[in-house]
Structure 1
Amino acid sequence: MRKAVQARVASVATIVAGLVLVGCGSGDGDSEDPKASAASTGTGAGSDTGAGEAAPGPGTPAGGTLTDRAAGSWKSIVDATSDDALETLTVADGKVTAKGPKLDCTGTLDTAGKGGAEAPSLTLSCADGTDGGRGAGTVKMKGADALAIDWAGPEGGFGGPVDSFRRS
């Protein structure tokens, strides 16, 4: 009886190990080589979308700087759960407005970098002086309909919030 139980435990352990190894594979595409992915989607080194991001979709500015691609209205992907959250973001000609339950902010999106490299940064100033840990951040786009801002946070701190938006 004891040998039967040990054999069953060993069998279950082998199956679990096999499942773990299968789960670690690249079948879901998460660990796919970015260059191979870019080649299969038609984007990559030959495209002029800047910052290594995917080309914009239909109805959005094609190519150009991140400022061009980010132009338009954006809505946060999460519901505002605090007074210092951002709900909407509007970008037009490098000028930015951001609003939340208690935030009313304006700022600029700048993509000028050293040596012609795109270094997209956003600087906000809010009406009441409270920016919810924002102020200056780095902007990234994934495709034409996803934009994220990684805020630097207060000076001497460990970073600020990350805001993610979808085109509205």
Structure 2
Amino acid sequence: MDGTWSPINASPIATLTITGEKVTTTGRLACPGAISEIGSRHPVITMSCAGGAHADRKRGAVIVLDPGSLAINWEGPAWGGLVDSLRRRSEARSAAAALTLPRCPGWRGRLVCRAAAPLAVGEEH
């Protein structure tokens, strides 16, 4: 789980970095924390924000969806707390790049661009 993660949802966390048992966040929720139960099915992140700020994201269970993405289910009232979905930093950037519009000669507001050559199903260009 070590690495830097970026949320893909609206979140006060800009980045979440896990190094061993240490957790740090940047953004509006910028504070240190710890991760425990690392070898378990659902490791637990506990944030230590100054003055009790961000109480809605104080303790949460980590669910590893795949090697490049995870979710944190933060503890909350009886119906459950907030959820943050994150991707490894390098994968978050490449996912954002995949969403950018292609640069096409003579773009001028056209809705589609023609590929230089037809692509087979499942092929990337």
SS, match of residue 133 in structure 1: helix
Whether the 8 Å contact between 2:2 and 2:19 is mirrored in structure 1 is yes
- d(CA) in 2 for partners of 1:158 and 1:150? 12
Name the CA distance, whole Å, in 1 between partners of 2:67 and 2:60: 19
| Structure 1, gaps ≥5 residues long | 1-69
Who is 1:159 aligned against?
80
The change in CA–CA distance for 1:91 and 1:112 in structure 2 (over 3 A counts) is: closer
Alpha-carbon distance, 1:90 to partner: 0.1
Partner of 1:75: 6
Who is 1:134 aligned against?
Answer: 57
CA RMSD of aligned residues (A): 2.0
- 2:83 maps to a residue whose letter is V
> Which residue is equivalent to 1:20?
none
TM-score (norm 2): 0.62
Matches within 5 A, 1:1-168: 70-80=1-11, 85-100=12-27, 102-111=28-37, 117-153=40-76, 156-168=77-89
Fraction of identical pairs, as percent:
39
How far residue 104 of structure 1 moved from its aligned partner, in angstroms, is 1.4
Deviations 1:112-134 (A, max 9, x none): 68xxx544111111134211511
The higher relative CO (CA closer than 8 Å, separation ≥ 6) is in 2
Shift of 1:144: 0.8
Q: Based on CA coordinates, which of the two structures has the bigger radius of gyration?
A: 1
Unaligned runs of 5+ in 2: 90-125
4+ runs deviating over 2 angstroms: 156-159
What TM-score, normalized by structure 1, do the two folds share?
A: 0.47
